[in-house]
Structure 1
Amino acid sequence: MMSLSRNHILNLLAVAVFGLFLWWAEGHLSGYQVQIINLIAINTILALGLNLIYGFGGMFSLGHAGFMAIGAYTCALLILPPLQKKMIFILQPLRWPFSVLQAPFLAAVLLGGAIAAIFAILIGIPILRLGGDYLGIATMGFAEIVRVVANNIPSITNGALGLKGIPSYANLWWNYGFLFVGLYAMIRLVNSNYGNALKAIRDDEMAAKAMGIDVFRYKIEAFAMGSFLAGVGGALQASFITTIDPKMYMFTLTFNVLMMVVAGGLGSITGTCIASAVITILLEWLRIVESPMTLGPIHIPGIPGMRMVIFSLALIFIILFRREGIMGMRELTWDDIFGYLGRFKGHE
């Protein structure tokens, strides 16, 4: 009990210290650095959703980009002012009731996540009976369908032109507020009896069925909750970058999130958070390899897409030499930290 109380106090202190860091960052870091910190929060939310589906539920899903698109378009249509909608929709006027609907940012983000979860349930009922690679192909097909549909219904999505001038509500406080709430909910979920049942299904589905676990219901629920986080992440991203179009939601986006989950460790929340931060920073830093460089007498032309080549190679090396990722299935706890410090002092 004393250890539990100590851990709760330390968690609250850690959140308070991080809040002070965000307050300091807003006033002292450059706009580009603040942008990266915001992207870390959004990408971590997305990676947590995929880790719940794949890492804890054992469902190989490649449809994250589709659920992000649903959340992004839902949120954008709800927070755009009606007058601005009239100006944006040039090809065709926006259909009613989308033309008059407007909601507060919090409600719009949650509704974006909820609609993504509803779509997850609707497609999950037929496709979650599949397994392994077949499930991955089916979910990837769903994401591509969402992108193509968004490109071809200009009266709702504005087609290939996308939505521009989306109100920029998603700042450090909103993004990290959603992240911390999602992180707390996921920790409680995976450490509950529900989480234990979900991990049992992941490890051995037949044994879980023999124990009386309703495997299909657990899969549907986990798929919906992970998709809800994808929708929330997509909504925050739309408001943060203030412009969206169908080309943004190609498979590359899912690949980036999958890279974070695999690199961190399937089934590790700590690993997902660490890998999301590292990969988000590297994705920005590696833009340099896509720009022309001059090294003395040697001129190297920029190669568009080279950073994704580097990340693809990195994913291959991780799978070959460090399949368990940074943390494997382990979590970093205060007890681990104090135990390590105690052993370190003992060696001294």
Structure 2
Amino acid sequence: MINQRKDHNIKAYILLFIVFAVLLTLLDLKYIGDEYVRRVLNLAAIYTIVSVSMNLVNGFTGLFSLGQAGFMAIGAYTVAIFTVPLESRASIFYVVPQNPALAGIHIPFPAALLLGGLLAALVAILIGIPVLRLKSDYLAIATLGFSEIIRIVFTNAKTITNGALGIKSIPKMPTMWVFFGVMILSVAFIVFLINSSYGRAFKAIREDAVAAEAMGINLFKHKVMSFAIGAFFAGIGGGLFASLLGTVDPKQFYFTMTYNFLLMIVLGGMGSISGTVIASFIVTIGLEVLRFFDNPLTLFGVTIPIFRAGFRMVIFSALLMILVLFFRNGLLGQKELSWGMVRDWFGRLRRYKR
């Protein structure tokens, strides 16, 4: 019976992947949607990578970290610095020339993306050694401060990052499969990690650090590992973010960006990978759907004064408050989405209609 259920689940997931691949191919070939739709979906895929990596640290390990924007900046600037065509760099670094050690280096996008993730992980290890000894709010304040330090360093390192002017002419990825492919690989890696012995150690630390240490788990080692892996994938997300927009500047990585990812993991469920994925798409697409509230509205010759820039955030916040009232632990809490859960939902819906 158990083997039959596993075979049924495997077949269901294979069918779901085929449907997803066909839909993504149709979007990629421009049979469905337009450039705007594809851009929003690519952005949602990037946010999924970063929010899932943040959930690994905050939701599964129990660390209150707010440094994702800084790690994204490292990945974004790494891709920007090393993938911009050599012939375009003089027109970009026109105020202060680029550092001669970097001016002649150009590497392919996959290598630059991986390098950005590794540099973010290295910085996370250097930051984590002193900072991860803190707990709770103190850790959040320290990581948030380091995130701002990273942004300020990039603002002032003009020969490397072009300062406040940012870097333009970053090659854009021509296909959605790059963004969604990296998203699938990233989420799959974190899922396998969570279900490994390391993942069980992370959860043990989250539940009770003293008991975990008594069971022989090296708290400091596992905290640094979780922090570094989360930073690695945040750097990967930052590199994809740079390739999506084609430009980067320090203003894109204010600490408020981290709050958006925190919103996604709280909405999806602290400790739920599938909930975070769903929430990332809901938040990203929802903010775009509600954008019409930012435009002036006139009915029967009367202009409604509340429809102005920023009103969509009021509406979105109100909707989130209503949602949280019904789902206090997020959409899925610490559970993962399964076919059995979907069948139960539809079963309850049918009983409700009767």
* TM value normalised by structure 2: 0.91
Q: How far, CA to CA, are the matches of 2:200 and 2:275 in structure 1?
A: 19
Alignment correspondent of 2:219: 215
Q: 1:8 to 1:98 in 2, by over 3 A?
A: farther
Paired letter, 1:25: L
Residue by residue over 1:291-348, the C-alpha shift from the partner in whole angstroms, topping out at 9 and shown as x without a partner, is 3222331342764444445555666666666431110001112344456678999999
Provide the secondary structure at the position in 2 that maps to 1:94: coil
- Asked if 1:16 is matched to 2:15, the reply is no
Q: Write the deviation string for residues 134-158 of structure 1: whole angstroms up to 9, x where unpaired.
A: 1110111011111111111111111
Question: Is the contact between residue 290 and residue 316 of structure 2 (CA under 8 Å) also seen in structure 1?
Answer: no
Q: Residues 75 and 211 (structure 1 numbering): CA distance in 2 closer, same or farther, change over 3 Å? A: same
Alignment match, 2:27 = 25
Find the counterpart in structure 1 of residue 163 from structure 2.
159
Change (3 A) 1:78 1:65: same
- Judged with a 3 Å threshold, the aligned counterparts in structure 2 of structure 1 residues 145 and 112 are, in CA distance, closer, same or farther, namely same
SS of corresponding position for 1:244: coil
Q: Percent identity?
A: 46
Instruction: Say whether residues 1:74 and 2:78 are aligned partners.
Output: yes
Q: 1:126-145 residue pairs with structure 2 within 5 A?
A: 126-145=130-149
Counterpart-to-counterpart distance in 1, 2:17 and 2:40: 19
Distance in 1 of aligned mates of 2:348 and 2:153: 58
Deviates more, 1:20-29 or 1:337-346: 337-346
CA distance in 2 between partners of 1:324 and 1:346 (Å): 25
After superposition, give the CA deviation of every residue in 1:34-93 in whole Å (9 maximum; x if it has no partner).
111111111111110110010101111111100000000001111111111121001111
C-alpha separation between the residues in 2 aligned to 1:97 and 1:7? 53
Q: Which of these residues, 332, 335, 339, is aligned with residue 334 of structure 1?
A: 339
Pair 1:40-2:44 in alignment: yes
Q: Residue 289 in 1 paired to residue 263 in 2?
A: no
Kept in 2, the 8 Å contact 1:69–1:234? The answer is yes
Residues 207, 153 of structure 1: CA spacing in aligned structure 2 closer, same or farther, 3 A cutoff? same
Instruction: Report the residue type matching 1:323 in the other structure.
Output: R
In the alignment, the residues of structure 1 paired with residue 311 and residue 350 of structure 2 have an alpha-carbon distance, to the nearest angstrom, of 45
Aligned counterparts, 1:1-348, within 5 A:
1-26=3-28, 27-28=30-31, 29-169=33-173, 171-296=175-300, 297-300=302-305, 303-311=308-316, 322-337=327-342
Q: What is the Cα deviation at residue 268 of structure 1?
A: 0.4
Q: Structure 1 residues 321 and 344 mapped into 2: Cα distance closer, same or farther (>3 Å)?
A: closer
SS of residue matched to 1:216 = helix
Measured after TM superposition, the shift of residue 21 of structure 1 is 0.3
What amino acid does structure 2 have at the position aligned with 1:3?
A: R
- Bigger mean CA offset, 321-330 vs 79-88: 321-330
The one-letter amino acid paired with 1:255 is: Y
Bigger CA drift: 289-298 or 21-30? Answer: 289-298
User: What one-letter code is carried by the residue in structure 2 that aligns with 1:273?
Assistant: V
* 1:100 CA displacement: 1.4
List alignment gaps of at least 5 residues for structure 1.
none
TM-score of the two chains, using structure 1 as the length reference: 0.93
In structure 2, runs of 5+ residues without a counterpart are none
Report deviation, 1:161: 0.7
- Answer whether contact 1:290 1:307 (CA < 8 A) is retained: yes
Q: How far off is 1:19 after superposition?
A: 1.1
Give, in whole Å, the separation in 2 of the partners of 1:210 and 1:95.
Answer: 51
| Shift of residue 8, structure 1, vs aligned partner | 3.0
Worse-superposed segment, 221-230 or 100-109? 100-109
Measure, in 2, the Cα distance between the counterparts of 1:227 and 1:328: 23
CA distance in 2, matches of 1:67, 1:281: 24
Query: Are the structure 2 counterparts of residues 15 and 231 from structure 1 closer, same or farther at C-alpha, using a change threshold of 3 Å?
Result: same
